[in-house]
Amino acid sequence: MMNRHTKGTAGKWCAVLGFMLVLVLVPAVFFDFYYDLNDDTAIKDILSGTYTGIPSGYSIQMLFPLSWVIAMAYRIIPAVPWYGLFLCVCQFGVFALMAWRLAGRMKRGLTKAAALGVLALVALGLFLRQLVILQYSVTSGLCMACAVFLFLTGENADKPSVFVRRNTVPALLVVLSFMIRTEMCMMLMPFLIFAGLVKWSGEERIFTGTNFRKYLFLFAGAMLGILVMFSLDSLAYSSSEWRSFRSFFDARTKLYDFYDLPPYEDENAAFYASIGLSEESFTLLENYNFALDESIDAWMLESIAAYQRQRAYDGKGLHATLGYVTRRSPAEALWQYRNQMLSGLGSLGRTFFPGNGATRSATSLSGETVCGYAVLGAYAVYVLLCILPVRFGKKWKAIVKILVLVVIRSVLWLYLYMVDRAIERVTIPLLMAELATLSGLMLTEYRSAVNQERRGRMEFLSGMANTAICMLGILFLAAAFRTGFHRTMEEFRDRALADARWEALKSYCAADADGFYVIDVYSSTSYNGAPYSEKIFEKVDSSYRNFDICGGWVAKSPLYREKLVRAGLRDVQSALCARKTGAGTKAYFVALPDKDVTWLSAYYEKRGIAAVPVCVDTIYAPEGTPAFSVYVLNVSGL
């Protein structure tokens, strides 16, 4: 016969397995799984060997130890989409860990089912799109959010060794998040530090040697894991070629993502001339096709970044804030943050309480907006359950926690507005971490609040709590079926059209094994707003592809050089204007049918080469409309 402990464990397993069955089946039945952006497909191409022909651990974005493991898996069984599978396991595994924690904390079967039901609504209602359209930054953020939740809701222990052992999983999740997307892990680190301080402040005696050892050992263990992974990554990229490229990569990121390019006019033109950048080459930086020009190197981009930084200090264009260059001033960011909060409250009211015949479609709400509503509701429930029921003299701790959390979230949002990086793949993980923090606080503090008050009063408050939870559940259902499901379905329809065009391009290039196709960067990003990407589990093909975009974050890397060598090319600039056998060229340029490509002629003319792009073929989408144009350069003056 099973004892009580065995029955409890079996019940937890059944509850979690049932939860995961629902969580996996709903997306799998109604949707396919996509890589979100060409960033994700570029990582996949490098790891799988599609980019150079050989699986490589040098994915540039993720840390090398993790990339190396995935690349080795591709070498062993190339037919399995290991990178996409890894992202899926991480994201669904995170929710499985949360479900296991909830199932363990809820004693009764009814409350256990209710808690897992709410978690399923959160996952499918708020993050359905992220579950089926995978982006590695979001996966990193989910790991951090789960680490915060597990740490806040974990059982305490007096012995440091037991405490560290019980919190090993959150620590490993932090290290995993750091390896997947270092910048995302570091941005969400304040939530984890806040969780640690909350946990420590909840000890009966705070300043004891045992407590110092408990928390410092755990912190040191996580930091040691991060340091080891970072050191291994630095060692892997220690060659002169990779160090040079990383300098180029960092300068490129700083310019495009944070500083922007000053226009080629007035005093800026004199500066550009002083560093040897012509207006024709500047155009390549503007349209992102900088791989065409070998003279655009790390030194040049660092010079432009330094120039922008000095202009910011001089009060021209950008802003200098506490020694950092930002696109917006703190006052502008604060005003935008205020407007975002007020517009969010206003749109929430119009959505559920329309007036004067004005209605707002649920599907028009963005995922960030819906998730913001959930965070707002979580704050309200926290106040209802953990602050209002407690006597005045005992409320101050909960109030301080909520105020500190608001300060943390406000500082992070203001930073994103200042650097102009408030994009969904950044803001969604931020909201995930905030929601996980609030959920962890509520789960640990509600019982404490109940135990502090009389039974009669708590019966009344319990009714209020149940009503609030039911209302929140209805909101989650509305988000799940009115916004998340329908919005994701609409995006999938748009992606199907974009996917068909991208597949047509891949098929066209594959049919000409002797050619090499250089694709205009902005022609390779999206169709009608839907990104060109790929399905994860369909048409898995890790074979080499004879095309590349004329820029992007892989351009000018050692992998990029290796790809050119495989194609028999020295560089893109000479390849596009080189004769093959007297007719045509070996390298072709690909762009959208209505794309202006006269900048190609201007660039070559600056170098004494008369090159006229001539469209020699058209790649058609399945419905028969032109998708891409294929150009060769008619060259004279060589």
- Mean per-residue pLDDT of the chain: 87
Q: Token digits for 510?
A: 């594959």
SS3 461: helix
Lowest-confidence range among 66-80, 216-230, 255-269? 255-269
Angle value at C-alpha 432, between 430 and 433, nearest 5 degrees: 70
Please indicate whether residue 478 or residue 566 has the higher confidence score (pLDDT).
Answer: 566
- Residues whose CB falls within 8 Å of the CB of residue 287, separated by 6 or more in sequence, listed in order: 520, 521, 522, 599
Measured CA to CA, the distance from residue 538 to residue 66 in angstroms comes to 24
pLDDT in tens, 320-335: 887 788 999 999 999 9
Q: Between 97 and 14, whose confidence is greater?
A: 97
Tokens describing residue 272: 């550009």
At 65 the pLDDT is 97
pLDDT > 90: percent of the chain: 61
Tell me which H or E stretch contains 442.
helix 424-451
DSSP 266-321: HHHHHHHHHTT--HHHHHHHHTT-GGG-TT--HHHHHHHHHHHHHHHHTTSSSEEE
Residue 310 gets the label, from left (phi > 0), alpha (psi -120 to 50) or beta, of: alpha
Euclidean distance between CA atoms 313 and 634, whole angstroms: 47
Can you list the positions of beta strands (E) in 526-609?
A: 526-527, 530-531, 547-549, 587-591
The distance from CA 63 to its chain's CA centroid, rounded to whole angstroms, is: 15
Give the pLDDT band of residue 115 (cuts 50, 70, 90): confident
pLDDT band at 317 (very low <50, low <70, confident <90, very high): confident
Query: Smallest Cα–Cα separation from 527: which of 427, 621, 422?
Result: 621
Residue partners of 541: CB distance under 8 A and separation at least 6? 50
- pLDDT number for residue 210: 87
pLDDT digits (tens, 9 = 90+) for 529-573: 899 999 999 988 899 999 999 998 999 999 999 999 999 899 999
Q: Are 137 and 426 in contact (CB under 8 A)?
A: yes
Residue 210 identity (one-letter amino acid):
T
Q: What is the CA radius of gyration of the chain?
A: 27
Q: Whole-angstrom Cα distance, residue 142 to residue 92?
A: 10
Over residues 66-94, the pLDDT tens digits come to 999 999 999 999 999 999 999 999 999 99
**DSSP at 255:** I
SS3 (DSSP) at 557: coil
Q: Do β-strands 516-519 and 547-549 pair in parallel, antiparallel, or remain unpaired?
A: parallel
Bridging pattern class, strands 587-591 and 516-519 = parallel
* pLDDT at site 454: 46
DSSP one-letter code for 615: E
DSSP annotation of 585:
B
pLDDT in tens, 363-417: 456 778 888 888 888 888 888 777 776 665 567 888 899 999 999 999 999 999 9
Mean pLDDT for 603-617 is: 92
Mean pLDDT for the stretch of residues 139-157: 94
The letter for the amino acid at 450 is: V
d(CA 542, CA 530): 24
Q: Which of these, 285, 302, 304, 264, lies nearest to 521 by C-alpha position?
A: 285
Determine the Cα–Cα distance for residues 34 and 59; give it in Å rounded to an integer.
19
Smallest CA-to-CA distance from 136 within 186, 178, 108 is with 178
- Under DSSP, the state recorded for 124 is I
Q: Is 614 helix (H, G, I), strand (E, B) or coil?
A: strand
State the pLDDT at residue 354. 47
Q: Residue 277 has which token pair?
A: 């950048």
User: What distances in angstroms separate CA 357 from CA 347, 361, 417, one per listed residue?
Assistant: 15, 13, 34
Residue 471 has pLDDT above 80, yes or no: no
Predicted pLDDT of residue 359: 44
Residue pLDDT, tens place only, 151-203: 999 888 889 899 999 999 999 999 999 999 999 999 999 999 999 999 998 87
